[in-house]
Structure 1
Amino acid sequence: MLKGLHMVQLKILRRQARDIRSLAVHPQKDVVVTGSDDRLWKMWALPDGNIIMTGEGHTDWLSGCCFHPSGTQLVTSSGDATVRIWDLSKRGCILTLEGHAQAVWDCSWHSCGDFVASASMDSTSKIWDVNSERCRYTLRGHKDSVNSIEFLPFSNTVLTSSADKTLSLWDARTGLHVQTFYGHLHSCNHATFNVKGDMIASCDSRGVLKLWDIRQSVPIMSVDAGPRPANQAAFDYSGRTVAVASGDGSVKVLYLELGQLSSLRGHGEEEVHSVAFDHKARRLLSGGADGTLCLWT
């Protein structure tokens, strides 16, 4: 557990021109990728913050990014309704996946590296076969925008969250709906698994964070971190700490065993859009509307 995270040293890395919407930590290297409203993704070296690489090709804001399990490729999603796959050694886009009718909010790479999932404002999600370069399944069932999507590591289970106030589990092998979680009273902005895969954290547009046992359909904990939106949640490696990107300019940190909520401030009053734990180095990263990437150690 990251003890005393409220007593941390903060390093603010160089500004990006526009809002940082998404973060992805490299699976092996001290590297992070950010996606921004300026239509670019940038790769930064940690902890010094030097920019290693920039990806240009999307025609609208970037909403999500995720590394291939090997760290050799990157998938990004965008307001331009496409999903792009980038080869980092070639420093360019090698595949554009088209099929969503509206903006794509999020993307996730399966742990085998052969499949990508995307979530869209068009109320659907898609499972893409990277090798055949085609959509394998379109996941239909949510009644409003699908705001986040994530593969459960080393499984065929997909987790989505939606503006229809629900979370859903899907079977990526069949494209079929498995389970729905009800409990949020407002648009659900994000949902994520812990490392073990037996717990889910979800957060909504009024700042409510809920914790779910994956075997139960009712939340086991609900924490009001509002009234501003909670934009994204992330578990630390132990699964005992959850960080939340908050619309009030702070990163909220919940210690599950203590039921204690702390606030980290480094983005001023600007909205924090994204949070991610670097499990290797035991760091927390956050990106916000102020265009800065904050590193909490």
Structure 2
Amino acid sequence: MTAMPSEGASIPPPVEDFLMNFLMKHNMTQTLECFQTEWHKLGNGRESAAEIESVPDVYTRSEHLERALEDCESMCAKYQQKASAAEAQFEKLRKERNHHRTAHRRILQEKKTMGQELKRLSRQVDDLRKELEELTEKHNAALREKMLAKLQRDKASQRATQLEQTARAVSASQLAPTRTTAIATTAAVANTTAQRPLPSLAKATKRLQSPVLSQSQRMPATLPRPEQLLPPPNLRPMTPGRAKALTVVNTVKASTCAVGAIALHPQGDLLAAVDDAGIMSIWQLPGGQLEQQVAAHPSWLADVRFHPDGTLLLTAGSHPKVDLWSSAGLCVVTSFLEHAHCVWSCDFHHTGDFIASGSMDNTVKVWDITTGKCLHTIRSHTDSVNVVRFQPHSNHILSGGADKIVRVTDGRTGLAVGSMEAHTNAVSDIAFTYAGDVAVSCDLDGTVCAWSMRDRTLLHTAKLGPHPANCIAVDTSGQVVAVGSGDGAIKVLALDTFDLITELQAHDDAVQALVFDHAGGFLVSCGSDGTIRLWS
């Protein structure tokens, strides 16, 4: 009897085993014996075992199929779990997509709304800008009307007090016989100017543009004679040795405020000073006696200059105008009214027929004294113009400002000639040698520069900081340069080498202005301590 195959067998049993097992299971012993006998006989005649047939094992196959089915069911369950997770992830992503799509649509709507609002605001800004321009134009027109009205009032007051001023001029001429001719000339100029009709508002508006000038109104071309370039015959040279020995010989308490500028009369015996209270005063030198004083301005004054013949004075200050004064009676002869902001500096041409002014409105203006018209408006500076000076015996104008550049302009044409750049801060003052061939400038960093006016090249540089250099002066002999500092010191340099010779200490506050005597006899300084000091 053949044994039953094991449950784990994977090979199906032979046919005879299947039949024998079946017969034994049903207790069919006789049939089993007959089958075995016949099968044995039949088996002896077979050539190979390959001819033996086998019966498939249904149970084994069923078991394999059940296991395969279980594996498939477990895999299906896993796939279902993954499919559920993927479906949940897809649903989450779909919700996020819908959320972002909604946010994107909202942002597009906000962008469209903001664009429309921006266009509306731009149109509103354009409208407001036009209104601002109109209001500015109205304001400027009103300001010009106010200035013209003030000028008319001053002229009327001047006519009313003309007799009194003439009497004062006669009295002053008795005190100073050498200036009798100058006083008579000043009275004639004042009379002529007082009788001159005032320009209308339309004409004043037209003067905002430089007029086309006739040949008689133009600044004449000048070629200095050789004797004009020589120093005065009575000059006492300010040598470095003399400069080192300078001491204060006279001190005048000129004001309770800062004295901002001083100017020396061409004859050298009078000194004009202006202060931050708007007071202009005339002092006798070297004694320091007060001769005349006038409230020239309701606010501060920044600069004062004498006419080349000493008959007139020029002042500039916080108002957008330049005043021309009679030096005899200290009365206003005329005013020049085209600047838009305060005027920091002014100067006379060496002929005395023209003046230049520099303002906080970034412009330099050239004026004709005879006609009172603005010949040129120079707009070469990009910031406030702090100082403007005519080159001696020339028509060139040097101006310096907060843009740190010294610019050279032809006063006849109003066109730029060149520029000189070396300063690191705003230019505060400019001065020339007597011949005008060398210019010196200083700035608020304490830097002092010397320039050759032939080719506008830098000759020397001195660093005198950290305090600002407020003012500068060159003696008539052209040997020394005096620099007024913000710490109250006056630093004296040799012009040819720019070596420091000495420091003069006397002022209690910043030095604001310096001027050398034309004959080289002394140096005059003023400062924020309200004093005027004479050095000799």
TM bucket, shorter chain: over 0.9
Once the 2 structures are TM-superposed, how far is the Cα of residue 260 of structure 1 from its aligned partner? 2.7
- Structure 1 equivalent of residue 247 of structure 2: 9
1:4 match: secondary structure:
helix
Q: Are 1:210 and 2:449 an aligned pair? A: yes
Distance 2:257 2:467 in 1: 21
Q: How many residues align?
A: 296
- Structure 1 equivalent of residue 467 of structure 2: 228
Q: Please tell me whether the aligned partners of residues 14 and 49 of structure 1 are also in contact (alpha carbons under 8 angstroms).
A: no
- Structure 2 equivalent of residue 140 of structure 1: 379
**Structure showing the higher strand proportion among its residues:** 1
Q: Please tell me whether the aligned partners of residues 182 and 218 of structure 1 are also in contact (alpha carbons under 8 angstroms).
A: no
Q: What code does the residue aligned with 2:503 have?
A: S
**Structure showing the higher helix proportion among its residues:** 2
- Structure 2 equivalent of residue 23 of structure 1: 262
- Structure 2 equivalent of residue 293 of structure 1: 532
2:437 pairs, out of 198, 209, 213, with: 198
Q: Are 1:129 and 2:348 an aligned pair? A: no
Structure 1 stretches of at least 4 aligned residues deviating more than 6 Å after TM superposition: none
Q: Please tell me whether the aligned partners of residues 273 and 289 of structure 1 are also in contact (alpha carbons under 8 angstroms).
A: yes
Q: Are 1:264 and 2:515 an aligned pair? A: no
Once the 2 structures are TM-superposed, how far is the Cα of residue 7 of structure 1 from its aligned partner? 2.0
| Percent identical residues | 36
Distance 1:278 1:198 in 2: 19
- Distance change >3 Å, CA 5–CA 29, structure 1 → 2: closer
Once the 2 structures are TM-superposed, how far is the Cα of residue 172 of structure 1 from its aligned partner? 0.8
- Distance change >3 Å, CA 223–CA 29, structure 1 → 2: closer
TM (norm. structure 2) is 0.54
Q: Are 1:108 and 2:347 an aligned pair? A: yes
Once the 2 structures are TM-superposed, how far is the Cα of residue 281 of structure 1 from its aligned partner? 4.9
Once the 2 structures are TM-superposed, how far is the Cα of residue 295 of structure 1 from its aligned partner? 0.5
Distance 1:246 1:129 in 2: 34
Q: What 5-or-longer segments of structure 1 have no aligned partner?
A: none
Q: Please tell me whether the aligned partners of residues 400 and 407 of structure 2 are also in contact (alpha carbons under 8 angstroms).
A: yes
Q: Are 1:164 and 2:403 an aligned pair? A: yes
Once the 2 structures are TM-superposed, how far is the Cα of residue 130 of structure 1 from its aligned partner? 0.8
Distance 1:162 1:64 in 2: 15
Distance 1:147 1:259 in 2: 24
Q: Which has the higher contact order (CA 8 A, sep 6+)?
A: 1
Once the 2 structures are TM-superposed, how far is the Cα of residue 158 of structure 1 from its aligned partner? 0.7
Once the 2 structures are TM-superposed, how far is the Cα of residue 65 of structure 1 from its aligned partner? 0.7
Distance 1:291 1:90 in 2: 24
Once the 2 structures are TM-superposed, how far is the Cα of residue 258 of structure 1 from its aligned partner? 5.1
- RMSD in angstroms over aligned alpha carbons? 1.3
Q: Please tell me whether the aligned partners of residues 22 and 274 of structure 1 are also in contact (alpha carbons under 8 angstroms).
A: yes
- Structure 2 equivalent of residue 179 of structure 1: 418
Q: Please tell me whether the aligned partners of residues 258 and 530 of structure 2 are also in contact (alpha carbons under 8 angstroms).
A: yes
2:335 pairs, out of 96, 105, 108, with: 96
Q: Are 1:78 and 2:325 an aligned pair? A: no
1:69 pairs, out of 287, 308, 316, with: 308
- Distance change >3 Å, CA 50–CA 260, structure 1 → 2: same
**Structure (1 or 2) with the larger CA radius of gyration:** 2
Q: What 5-or-longer segments of structure 2 have no aligned partner?
A: 1-236
TM (norm. structure 1) is 0.96
Q: Please tell me whether the aligned partners of residues 150 and 159 of structure 1 are also in contact (alpha carbons under 8 angstroms).
A: yes
